[in-house]
Structure 1
Amino acid sequence: MIKLITILTSNVKRINVFSQAKYSTTFLPQFSSEKYDVKRKKFGVLNSTDVDYFKSVLSEDRVLTEESDVLPFNIDWIKNCRGQSQLVLKPKTTEEVSQILSYCNEKHLAICPQGGNTGLVGGSVPVFDEIVLNFGLMNNIISLDDISGALVCEAGCVLENLDNYVRDHNLIMPLDLGAKGSCQIGGNVSTNAGGLRLLRYGNLHGSVLGLEAVKADGTVVNCLRTLKKDNTGYHLKHLFIGSEGTLGVVTKVAIHCPVLPKSVSLGYFGVESFENVLKLYQNAKSSLGEILSAFEMADNDSISATLDSFKLANPIAEYPFYVLLETHGSNEAHDNEKLSRFLTQGMERGLILDGTVTSELTKMKNIWHIRESIAGAGLAGGYVFKYDVSLPLSRYYALVHTLRERFSHPARVYGYGHVGDGNIHINVIVPEYSKEITAKLEPFIFEEVAKVGGSISAEHGIGFRKPQFIHYSKDKTALNLMKDLKKSMDPNGILNPYKVLPDVVT
């Protein structure tokens, strides 16, 4: 029986599940260079003269050299990658970033730009001794236009802080992630992060109005416009959105913020099969239309592992699949009518077996917490291979079945993700990392994705983990053009080396 609860205006502050998992043990991962057998490129070697220069540009407390201080910046949050940086720089202004990059470019010192360090493909941590350029202190909100919804801020602003700020002005951020309490907007833009509501608000290529970035030679590129329409020449901002800090370092962002919805509801349903999940999604698109903001799916293994790991309670009984559906609207009575019709049809057709629908703040927070905790749940069970791919919806869940057939106990395979944009996250959990298991997974999983015209990275980027596999999603001509852009904008290759582009185009 579906439990209907009166729909209220919501302002949900999510629990930051990334903080629960990050550095949850004292285990230090193997150095990335050893684990993945990577050779250091011919960059300059940091010396005391370089450190003294950086201290002259920044205050001494913003130049970290102590091993214990630098260590957290060398490790990604899932403890898969570990760099060997000896220096972390924490600028406060674009001018400081420009001076740092100009100097590093002249000395051929490699740089690893870093935001909240919540990435899953190793793009935000060094591989060798790259200098970490951390943006956590560039966290000022510059302006907000209440009428147009244009927010201008520095790259180090934490996404959740921005969302809380604009909500006070009757707006919301167009981006929502499980890591919102830690991730920074500059990193979001640099990786073209997707998130939970891409179905409704689109990706960052559409939401980012303009940006400011610094090239490898220290040149500041000012594309910081707040206009919705600006058709003057090349759209240079798009070069930096999703390039993961390899073409330039984003320092400021102008982003369009949608109006805060007056009516929000959240449904959590038990479903018998993935075929029925797709039928329910079709119904949701036709019945809910413009108020549908999110349509998430998780299989039983995903939810069970999360409930067990974090000792959470499931608000409904156990089912093979679960759907989390959210609506954003402006008229409560109108939205209730559409939602009621959708639920009636879903139950009559047997697509919805059980569920709960609510807009009560605590209940919504608890349900979202289950969904957002899935990413961190597997970390307690061993080593997690995480894959983030886009697939045609007809083939969306088939890869999970394929991998389960390929791997037997003790490996566990489960899938969850954003049905509304074709993005599925697949976790393969094994007792410990081994190159044998890696070889069995890669490139097999990317070959399977390519066979059906999918993408090997839906929203996490390429980072350090996937450059050798990017050809499964980009052909040789596209890769050569990308290499030309890299050579033109960063001829010495100092910006985030070993990331995104393969050394050899196959």
Structure 2
Amino acid sequence: MLPNIFHNGRQLSRIFQCTLQMYRQRSLTTGVNEIPLSKDHYNIKRGPFSVATDADIKHFESILPAGNQILLGLEETVGYNRDYFKYVRGLGAIVLKPRTSEEVSNIMRYCNNKRLAVSVFGGNTGVCGGSIPVFDEIILSMDLMNRVESIDKYSGILVCESGCVLGKLEEELAMEGMMMPLDLGAKNSCQIGGNVSTNAGGIRLLRYGSLHGSVLGLEVVLADGTIMDLMSNVKKDNTGYHLKHMFIGSEGTLGVITRVAIACPTATKTQNVLFLGLRDYSSVLRTFLECKACLGEILTSFELIDRDALECCIEHLRTSSPIGSYPFYVLIETTGSSKQHDAEKIRDYLEHVIGHGIVSDGVVTNEPSKITKLWQLRERIPEATYSNNFCLTFDLSLPLKNFYDIVPAMKDRVGHLVKLVCGFGHIGDSNIHLNIAGDELTPEIAELIDPFVYEFTRKLRGSISAEHGIGLLKPKYLKYSKSAESIDLMKQLKLVLDRNGILNPYKVLC
């Protein structure tokens, strides 16, 4: 049992107790095996599940006859037992790598009958520990289910297996003059099944919307092995309940996604990136309004970076800013089909916002190498902030009017105790990333942060998780964004689809 930590007479939450201890232990060693076990640090009680035996392993071998489809022992499975950020660690000693939906079905049917818990593993790019086992769950890796079944350039529909890496799908589509509606910094590692399971957002959401709109169909294997064919190759299908939406964002707790049909737009021919400096947040909002009005049909991304975030990234990358120092910066990307048309619209836009004093300075480029450098100033901020001894990151949705308010509020509370409090994120879909970093995470700092961030978000009717899910780290905070009635209904749905609770236990719902 972990000791309670008190400060000024108030008890900290269990998660922050564990986080404090975790950072202290990580500061002593960087070895993989030294990452604290999740079961201990989060004080999680093991569910009523069976322990796998030699007989179970023998049965799995009959389902997966190829030699490379099963990994056994903690030495072989270590890469499946810890997340990228080294927050969580499990004890899963069996990794199963099915190649077909039928193999997934047979595995799930057997595990359900034997009450063996299962943890679904994708590209391991999540930040909430959602794909990492807590105890000795059977790890179901989707790595080998990576086949692209079809690309229809007329309808714009891609059909593929869930283990396909997002970046590889982008390459396949490019050869057909198409593109993915989703783009993430982790695209060369993350898998489309994991993207759908977490309802990943990314930088193109402003232009192409969420996966609830792009995903046309799914194939899902339920806990009892039932293969649910929810696939569709048409964009209009108004027949009965749209069951696919239950699995988008369910984080593997309701079923295992095995195949995906997704609508993909035609690839654009032009790309421009603007990097602008602004004097205050009200100017950011005015810039966004003018941007939508002037660049509407070619606008793809509108990203906010505050001065502290940019300076941290510049120092980490050992580079420089293309413009002077300002309290706020925005990175705008446009994509279209006519170079001259887009250039004229951008010129008119810049003349307007600079001429009216909304924007103080800026640069614009359509050169690929310069575009990459500008995007690095946004995409590598998390990497830069995580270079500190500790970094707490919060993925929040807040109304645009109050989008940035959380940053000065946290600076007032902990700015004098830490090295960095910064905000950056997707203005286009109201998703801000708040990062707090420094040398040592003390009980005093933790108390000032938790639960203030979530209470602040709730008062504004925002979301405690905009695009990264709930996973293992946030179930206790779900009440800040969802009503008790909503959470009860989620639990009822879980019980209907997974009566024995074997799918991704300890995740999303307490």
Fold match (TM-score > 0.5) = yes
Deviation at residue 287 of structure 1 after TM alignment: 1.0
Deviation at residue 28 of structure 1 after TM alignment: 3.7
Structure 1 residue aligned with 2:35: 29
Task: Report whether the alignment pairs 1:40 with 2:49.
Answer: no
Match 1:249 to one of 256, 259, 273: 256
Deviation at residue 479 of structure 1 after TM alignment: 1.2
Matches within 5 A, 1:87-102: 87-102=94-109
Distance 1:313 1:213 in 2: 47
Question: Residues 435 and 188 (structure 1 numbering): CA distance in 2 closer, same or farther, change over 3 Å?
Answer: farther
**Which secondary structure state, in structure 2, belongs to the residue aligned with residue 342 of structure 1?**
helix
Distance 1:85 1:468 in 2: 24
Match 1:415 to one of 416, 423, 428: 423
Contact 2:74–2:91 (8 Å) recurs in 1: no
Matches within 5 A, 1:368-383: 368-383=375-390
**Which secondary structure state, in structure 2, belongs to the residue aligned with residue 142 of structure 1?**
strand
Identity value in percent: 48
CA deviations 1:314-358 (Å, max 9, x no partner) are: 333332211100112122222212111110112112222222211
Distance 2:39 2:328 in 1: 39
In the alignment, residue 53 of structure 1 is paired with which amino acid?
A: H
Structure 1 residue aligned with 2:508: 500
Task: Report whether the alignment pairs 1:57 with 2:63.
Answer: yes
Deviation at residue 244 of structure 1 after TM alignment: 0.4
Deviation at residue 425 of structure 1 after TM alignment: 0.6
Matches within 5 A, 1:163-178: 163-178=170-185
Match 2:154 to one of 140, 147, 153: 147
Deviation at residue 116 of structure 1 after TM alignment: 0.5
Match 1:114 to one of 106, 111, 121: 121
CA deviations 1:81-118 (Å, max 9, x no partner) are: 11121111111111111111111111111111111010
Matches within 5 A, 1:122-271: 122-271=129-278
Distance 1:114 1:121 in 2: 13
Contact 1:28–1:79 (8 Å) recurs in 2: no
Structure 1 residue aligned with 2:450: 442
Structure 1 residue aligned with 2:472: 464
Alignment gaps of 5+ in structure 2? 1-28
Task: Report whether the alignment pairs 1:309 with 2:316.
Answer: yes
Deviation at residue 419 of structure 1 after TM alignment: 0.2
Contact 1:312–1:370 (8 Å) recurs in 2: no
Deviation at residue 484 of structure 1 after TM alignment: 0.9
**What's the Cα RMSD here?**
1.6
Distance 1:490 1:150 in 2: 31
In the alignment, residue 451 of structure 2 is paired with which amino acid?
A: P
Distance 1:107 1:441 in 2: 43
Task: Judge which range, 77-86 or 389-398, deviates more.
Answer: 77-86
Match 2:461 to one of 447, 453, 457: 453
**Which secondary structure state, in structure 2, belongs to the residue aligned with residue 387 of structure 1?**
strand
Distance 2:240 2:40 in 1: 45
Distance 2:406 2:313 in 1: 21
In the alignment, residue 193 of structure 1 is paired with which amino acid?
A: A
Deviation at residue 439 of structure 1 after TM alignment: 4.2
Contact 1:86–1:129 (8 Å) recurs in 2: yes
Contact 1:415–1:425 (8 Å) recurs in 2: yes
Question: Residues 39 and 488 (structure 1 numbering): CA distance in 2 closer, same or farther, change over 3 Å?
Answer: same
Distance 2:80 2:32 in 1: 15
Distance 1:419 1:353 in 2: 19
Distance 1:70 1:438 in 2: 33
Contact 2:389–2:438 (8 Å) recurs in 1: yes
Alignment gaps of 5+ in structure 1? 1-22
Distance 1:60 1:124 in 2: 24
Distance 2:465 2:145 in 1: 28
Match 1:478 to one of 470, 476, 486: 486
**Which secondary structure state, in structure 1, belongs to the residue aligned with residue 461 of structure 2?**
coil
Kindly report structure 1 stretches of 4+ aligned residues shifted beyond 6 Å: none
Structure 2 residue aligned with 1:82: 89
Contact 2:418–2:436 (8 Å) recurs in 1: no
Structure 1 residue aligned with 2:339: 332
CA deviations 1:109-145 (Å, max 9, x no partner) are: 1111111010011111111211111111111100010
**Which secondary structure state, in structure 2, belongs to the residue aligned with residue 252 of structure 1?**
strand
In the alignment, residue 259 of structure 1 is paired with which amino acid?
A: T
Question: Residues 352 and 456 (structure 1 numbering): CA distance in 2 closer, same or farther, change over 3 Å?
Answer: same
Distance 1:437 1:493 in 2: 36
CA deviations 1:472-491 (Å, max 9, x no partner) are: 11112211111111000000
Deviation at residue 451 of structure 1 after TM alignment: 0.2
Distance 1:396 1:82 in 2: 33
Match 1:293 to one of 300, 324, 329: 300
Contact 2:417–2:445 (8 Å) recurs in 1: no
Contact 1:392–1:422 (8 Å) recurs in 2: yes
**Which secondary structure state, in structure 2, belongs to the residue aligned with residue 487 of structure 1?**
helix
**Which secondary structure state, in structure 1, belongs to the residue aligned with residue 44 of structure 2?**
coil
Match 2:371 to one of 351, 355, 364: 364
**Which secondary structure state, in structure 1, belongs to the residue aligned with residue 49 of structure 2?**
coil
Structure 2 residue aligned with 1:9: none
In the alignment, residue 489 of structure 2 is paired with which amino acid?
A: L
Distance 1:24 1:262 in 2: 45
